[in-house]
């Protein structure tokens, strides 16, 4: 696999260090925040007040109010009780995995805990007795429900899963989990890194797809550095869960994200900048789908900006026609590479026309 290098952040296009220019159709900057002028302006202005970073614990005796203010706005955006931000999405997941048994054991009737890991779950949610599952998600979900229903009432079950499949994009049918007979003993941990800002009625992710009886014990984690463009991570759910995380030594001992970016996140939420970028993204997705109607080249899901293929030759074909997608093994070097195309809010209609034209030629 050839590696390409660039000295400048890609946007609509990317220029490699040897001078080649390509249309850039990959990455995870779905809302185009990498080049968003509002985000740049908010960060630049905030450094005057908050400095370049915060060299302290969030649980110190002196605390910056901007973190709490931002978390309140984020919880409102997510339509959830509470949220807390940390340094990265990976740490958000691992922090929850380190604290989940303390959270579960607040229920005094629980004597044992079983873990269930969905196929393809991101490494952020790899925890106790993790084993990779290569099966189909729907089959895993149905089998897991049967296992849960066959266990005693003093057993808690922790299900770890992604909100949407990555790198090979897949949608998951969360209604399959509704058959659990003892929902009080079930905890869901869902990684929203590839759905936050994109899916849901307002970009707030997959919460509205979860049965209300399961939602009270669902913990969401996410990178904020994909669609939302903020170098940080987040955890959200019930106030009890968030407060347990806040008191954790794993939270107290970890450096927080830069407060200037916390301020920028607050302002982008307040001013509905993400909503505006999402409108453009949805229009771009619909436009490209209309151009590719009837073409079975890709694995994709409805109203989602990622289009995948296991055919590595597609990546080379795109490159030869001035388009750079991505194709590499993920998450481990032993995994099969996936050719992955991602549309963003930065793309223009002529970019999408060119992408559709080149893709159709490959599939002719």
* pLDDT tens digit sequence for 316-346: 999 999 999 999 888 788 888 899 999 999 9
**Residue range 230-240: average pLDDT?**
98
37-46, 70-79, 280-289, 292-301, range with the lowest pLDDT: 292-301
7-21, 141-155, 323-337, range with the lowest pLDDT: 323-337
Q: How confident is the model at residue 364 (pLDDT cuts 50, 70, 90)?
A: low
What's the pLDDT score for residue 167? 86
Indicate whether 90 pLDDT > 80.
yes
**Residue range 250-263: average pLDDT?**
97
* Beta carbons within 8 Å of 357's beta carbon, 6+ residues apart: none
Token pair of 237 as six digits: 């759910």
Q: Can you tell me the distance from the alpha carbon of 352 to that of 302, in angstroms, rounded to the nearest whole number?
A: 17
What's the pLDDT score for residue 333? 84
Indicate whether 271 pLDDT > 70.
yes
Q: How many CA atoms lie within 13 A of 138 on its CB side?
A: 5
CB 284 within 8 A of CB 347: yes
Neighbours of 152 (CB within 10 A): 9
Q: Can you tell me the distance from the alpha carbon of 315 to that of 309, in angstroms, rounded to the nearest whole number?
A: 9
Q: How far is CA 153 from CA 110, 179, 182, in A?
A: 8, 16, 8
| Mean pLDDT, the chain, whole residue set | 96
Of residues 333 and 92, which shows the higher confidence score?
A: 92
Indicate whether 288 pLDDT > 80.
yes
**Residue range 194-222: average pLDDT?**
96
User: How far, rounded to the nearest angstrom, does the alpha carbon of residue 110 sit from its chain's CA centroid?
Assistant: 31
Q: Which of 194, 229, 257 is nearest to 39 (CA)?
A: 229
* Conformation bin of residue 185: beta by default, left when phi > 0, alpha when psi is -120 to 50: alpha
Backbone angles phi, psi at 355, to 5 degrees: -60, -45
Q: Can you tell me the distance from the alpha carbon of 339 to that of 312, in angstroms, rounded to the nearest whole number?
A: 6
**Residue range 140-148: average pLDDT?**
97
pTM: 0.96
What's the pLDDT score for residue 199? 97
CB 131 within 8 A of CB 120: no
Q: How far is CA 89 from CA 52, 92, 193, 360, in A?
A: 20, 5, 7, 36
Backbone angles phi, psi at 229, to 5 degrees: 75, 20
Of residues 168 and 173, which shows the higher confidence score?
A: 173
Q: Can you tell me the distance from the alpha carbon of 246 to that of 67, in angstroms, rounded to the nearest whole number?
A: 12
* Beta carbons within 8 Å of 94's beta carbon, 6+ residues apart: 124, 127
Q: Can you tell me the distance from the alpha carbon of 63 to that of 294, in angstroms, rounded to the nearest whole number?
A: 56
Q: Can you tell me the distance from the alpha carbon of 118 to that of 126, in angstroms, rounded to the nearest whole number?
A: 10
Q: Can you tell me the distance from the alpha carbon of 134 to that of 131, in angstroms, rounded to the nearest whole number?
A: 10
What's the pLDDT score for residue 296? 86
Q: Which domains does the chain have, with CATH numbers?
A: 13-30+273-362 (3.90.1150.10), 38-270 (3.40.640.10)
Name the one residue in this structure whose structure tokens are 């990455």.
27
**Residue range 153-180: average pLDDT?**
95
Q: How confident is the model at residue 156 (pLDDT cuts 50, 70, 90)?
A: very high
Indicate whether 289 pLDDT > 90.
yes
**Residue range 280-291: average pLDDT?**
97
């Amino acid at each position: 696999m050839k590696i390409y290098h660039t000295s400048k952040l890609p946007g609509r296009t990317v220029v490699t260090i040897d001078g080649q220019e390509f249309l850039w159709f990959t990455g995870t900057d779905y809302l185009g925040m990498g080049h968003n002028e509002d985000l740049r302006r908010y960060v630049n202005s905030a450094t005057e007040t908050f400095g370049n970073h915060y060299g302290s614990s969030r649980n110190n005796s002196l605390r910056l109010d901007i973190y709490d203010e931002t978390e309140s706005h984020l919880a409102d955006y997510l339509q959830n009780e509470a949220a807390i931000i940390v340094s990265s999405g990976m740490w958000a997941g691992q922090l929850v995995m380190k604290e989940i048994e303390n959270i579960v054991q607040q229920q005094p009737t629980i004597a044992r805990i079983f873990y269930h890991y969905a196929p393809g779950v991101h490494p952020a949610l790899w925890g106790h007795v993790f084993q990779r599952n290569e099966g189909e998600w729907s089959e895993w979900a149905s089998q897991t429900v049967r296992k849960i229903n066959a266990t005693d009432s003093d057993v808690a079950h922790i299900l770890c899963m992604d909100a949407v499949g990555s790198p090979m994009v897949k949608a998951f049918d969360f209604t399959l989990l509704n058959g659990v007979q003892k929902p009080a003993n079930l905890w869901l941990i869902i990684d929203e890194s590839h759905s936050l800002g994109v899916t849901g009625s307002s970009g707030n992710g997959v919460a509205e797809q979860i049965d209300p009886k399961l939602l009270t014990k669902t913990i969401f984690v996410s990178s904020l550095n994909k669609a939302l463009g903020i170098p940080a991570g987040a955890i959200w759910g019930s106030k009890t869960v968030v407060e347990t995380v806040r008191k954790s030594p794993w939270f107290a001992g970890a450096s927080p994200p830069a407060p200037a970016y916390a301020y920028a996140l607050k302002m982008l939420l307040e001013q509905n900048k993400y909503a505006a970028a999402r409108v453009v993204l949805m229009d771009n997705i619909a436009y490209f789908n209309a151009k590719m109607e009837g073409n079975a080249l890709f694995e994709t899901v409805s109203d989602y900006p990622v289009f995948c293929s296991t055919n590595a030759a597609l990546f080379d074909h795109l490159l030869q026609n001035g388009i750079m997608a991505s194709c590499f093994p993920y998450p481990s070097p032993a995994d099969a590479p996936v050719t992955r195309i991602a549309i963003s809010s930065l793309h223009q209609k002529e970019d999408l026309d060119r992408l559709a034209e080149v893709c159709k030629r490959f599939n002719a």
